[in-house]
């Protein structure tokens, strides 16, 4: 049976187990009138039987399927003739690709080497055995679970408590997914990055000023040709984020102030959602906007005042990114401003402060930690933003502070290094993970600080 069919079959079996468990509970209770003698409702007994029949078998299937491929490949590899083993790292990878393609039916066996064809046949045969074994084992576990539970059903059995413990466990697992995700990010990205740092020293990466990851094709040039100094990328990222902040922070902050403190409620009701529309627009749309509209406009303006603006200038990418971040800043600032208690405003008004004096010196002053936190979050977003810069910023790793020139960013390079055909072990690919690790660490630090500041601020006025 294929794994998906097996899961359907197990679900069916669980349903049957539910009915059996329920019937058994009714019979030990001596019919419907005896239900009050049971510890739990008959349905709970049924559920317990269903869980015991279904869950262990399901876990077995998931574990088996996720490991099956690696085990089978290992077995097939161990039976390969010496000629294949002599191919070397790259040759072997290609060989395995051939084998996989034959297995998947993408190419007929006649088009690959005889060894690969044999290996593929062996794999398919082993896969057949493996599936048979899994089917038998899963059913055995399920039926065993069902019968043991059925024999345990007595009026005293605390079926509801057991069922609920299982459900609580499942809920706990759900909440653990988030932790596992973080763990997965840290482990996988850090693992690949470590491999990168084994090839390229971390100091070259962190402090080098030349970035040209195109590796030479011949093996003897590795290390002598590619340059992995990430400083130009960091500088480019900062430049674009800085431009974005120059656009987003004043506009976002002032529109939040205007909408919260000045605008009549009808205006606020219309304008606020209108600005928030900007937050719902996919970033790829901003990227397109930057390339087709803002970039050319800037170039024409530049020409008219005698400035040479690059086609993919940092300015265009930064401006558009700033527009994207406006609603983010304004809604955070709005939250912070409205959280300032009215009593503080009253205090200032009662002293005869004008509205702007109250806002500038009391409201903003009180909301400052929250706003700073919000701006930090916005910076973290700008640094991690990908599509706008991939589309509107360049690939050239220029180390410059001139916003009219093209710069590249960390995210652009990750995308460039990883999109398209690639081998998994080249420094080029691994460099992307090293960059990803940097990105993750920097944004994480910013987020942790920002969330801490914002939370402290909220607590102050709660």
Partner 1 sequence: MSSTNNSAVKSAAETQQQVRNSLARRYRAERRFRFYGFAAVTAGIAFVVFLFGTIFAQGLSVFQQSYVKLEVFYDPETIDPAGNRDPDDLVVADYQALVRAALREEFPQVEGRPNLRELYGLMSSAASIELQRAVTANPDLIGQRQTLWLLADDTIDMVLKGNVSRQAREDERRLSDQQIGWLNALEQRGDLDLRFNRSFFSNGDSRDPEQAGVRGALIGSLLTLLITLLLSFPIGVGAAVYLEEFAPRNRLTDVIEVNINNLAAVPSIVFGLLGLAVFIGFFGMPRSAPLVGGFVLTLLTLPTIIIASRAALKAVPPSIREAALGMGASRLQMVGHHVLPLALPGMLTGAIIGMARALGESAPLLMIGMVAFIVEVPQGIVDPATALPVQVFLWSDLPERGFVERTSGAIIVLLLFLLLMNATAVWLRNKFEKRW
Partner 2 sequence: MSDSAASVDSLKTKVPAKTIGDITVPSPVFSCRDVDVFYGDKHAIKKVNIDIARQQVLAMIGPSGCGKSTFLRCLNRMNDTIVGARVEGQITLDGQDIHEKRQDVVQLRARVGMVFQKPNPFPKTIYENVAYGPRIHGLAANRGELDDIVNQSLRRAGLWEEVKDRLNQPGTSLSGGQQQRLCIARTIAVNPEVILMDEPCSALDPIATARIEDLIDELRESYAICIVTHSMQQAARVSQRTAYFHLGDLVEVGETNKIFTNPQAKLTEDYITGRFG
Q: Which residues bind partner 2 (CB under 8 A)?
A: 265, 341, 343-354, 357, 361-362, 365-366
Q: Rule CB under 8 A: which of 185-204 touch partner 1?
A: 185, 188-189, 191-192
Q: In angstroms, give the least distance from the CB of 372 to partner 2.
A: 14
| 381 close to 286: Cβ distance less than 8 angstroms | no
Residue 78 interacts with, from partner 2, partner 1, none (CB under 5-8 Å by kind): none
Residue whose tokens read 């000023």: 209
Contact stretch for partner 1 (CB under 8 A) within 5-13, 53-61, 222-230, 276-284: 276-284
Radius of gyration of the chain (CA): 31
Closest approach, Cβ 73 to partner 1, in A, equals 9
218 binds partner 1 (CB under 8 A): no
Interaction between residue 349 and partner 1 (CB under 8 A):
no
The SS3 call for residue 37 is: helix
Q: If 0-12 CB within 10 Å is exposed, 13-18 middle and 19+ buried, where does residue 231 land?
A: middle
In angstroms, the Cα distances linking 130 to 3, 13, 144 are: 11, 21, 21
**Whole-number minimum distance, CB 353 to partner 2, in Å?**
5
**3-state secondary structure (DSSP) of residue 148:** helix
Question: According to CB under 8 A, which residues from 66 to 105 bind partner 1?
Answer: 66, 69-70
**H/E segment holding residue 211:** strand 211-212
Asked if 160 is part of the footprint of partner 1 (rule: CB under 8 A), the reply reads: yes
Question: Closer to partner 1 at the Cβ: 195 or 210?
Answer: 195
Examine residue 381 and tell whether it contacts partner 1 (CB under 8 A).
yes
- For residue 381, the partner it binds in partner 2, partner 1, none, with Cβ less than 5 to 8 A by kind, is partner 1
Rounded CA-CA distance 93/392 in Å is: 36
Rounded Cα–Cα distance for residues 177 and 111 (Å)? 43
With respect to partner 1, which residue has the nearer C-beta, 150 or 335? Answer: 335
Judged by CB, which is closer to partner 2: 65, or 353? 353
Q: How far is the CB of 351 from partner 2 (least distance, A)?
A: 4
In the block, tokens 């994480």 appear at 444
Partner in contact with 60, chosen from partner 1, partner 2, none, beta carbon below 5 to 8 Å by kind: none
Helix ranges (DSSP H) in 352-418: 355-358, 364-384, 387-392, 410-418
Q: Which residues pair with 227 in a beta bridge?
A: 212
316 binds partner 1 (CB under 8 A): no
């Amino acid at each position: 049976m294929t794994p998906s069919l097996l899961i359907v079959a197990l679900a069916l079996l669980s349903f049957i187990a539910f009915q059996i468990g329920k019937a058994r509970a009714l019979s030990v209770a001596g019919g419907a009138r005896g239900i009050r003698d049971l510890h739990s409702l008959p349905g709970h007994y049924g559920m317990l039987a269903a869980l015991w029949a279904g869950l262990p078998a399901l876990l077995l299937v998931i574990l088996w399927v996720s490991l099956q491929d690696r085990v089978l490949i290992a077995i097939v590899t161990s039976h390969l003739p010496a000629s294949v083993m002599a191919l070397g790292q790259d040759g072997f990878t290609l060989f395995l690709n051939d084998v996989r393609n034959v297995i998947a039916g993408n190419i007929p066996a006649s088009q690959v080497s005889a060894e690969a064809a044999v290996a593929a046949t062996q794999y398919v045969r082993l896969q057949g055995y493996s599936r048979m074994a899994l089917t038998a084992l899963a059913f055995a576990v399920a039926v065993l679970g069902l019968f043991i539970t059925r024999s345990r059903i007595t009026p005293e059995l605390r079926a509801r408590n057991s069922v609920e413990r299982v459900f609580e466990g499942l809920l706990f697992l759900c909440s653990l997914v988030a932790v596992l995700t973080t763990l997965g990010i840290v482990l996988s990205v850090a693992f690949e990055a470590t491999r990168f740092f084994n090839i390229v020293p971390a100091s070259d990466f962190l402090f080098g000023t030349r970035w040209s990851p195109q590796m030479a094709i011949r093996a003897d040039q590795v290390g002598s040709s590619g340059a992995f100094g990430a400083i130009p990328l960091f500088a480019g990222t900062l430049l674009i984020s800085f431009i974005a902040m120059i656009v987003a922070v004043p506009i976002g902050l002032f529109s939040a102030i205007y909408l919260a403190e000045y605008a009549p409620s009808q205006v606020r009701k219309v304008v606020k959602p209108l600005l928030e529309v900007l937050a719902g627009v996919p970033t790829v749309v901003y990227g397109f906007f930057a390339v087709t509209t803002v970039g050319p406009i800037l170039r024409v303006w530049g020409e008219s005042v005698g400035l040479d603006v690059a086609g993919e200038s940092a300015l265009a990418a930064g401006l558009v990114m700033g527009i994207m971040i406006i609603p983010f800043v304004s809604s955070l600032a709005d939250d912070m401003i409205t959280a300032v208690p009215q009593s503080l405003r009253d205090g200032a008004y009662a002293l005869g402060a004008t509205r702007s004096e109250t806002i500038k010196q009391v409201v903003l002053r009180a909301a400052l930690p929250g706003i700073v936190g919000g701006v930090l979050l916005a910076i973290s977003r700008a640094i991690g933003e990908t599509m706008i810069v991939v589309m509107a910023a360049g690939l050239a790793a220029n180390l410059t502070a001139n916003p009219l020139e093209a710069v590249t960013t960390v995210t652009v390079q990750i995308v460039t290094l990883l999109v398209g055909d690639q081998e998994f072990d080249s420094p080029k690919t691994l460099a992307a993970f090293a960059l990803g690790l940097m990105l993750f660490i920097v944004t994480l630090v910013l987020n942790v600080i920002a969330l801490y500041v914002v939370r402290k601020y909220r607590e102050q006025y709660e």
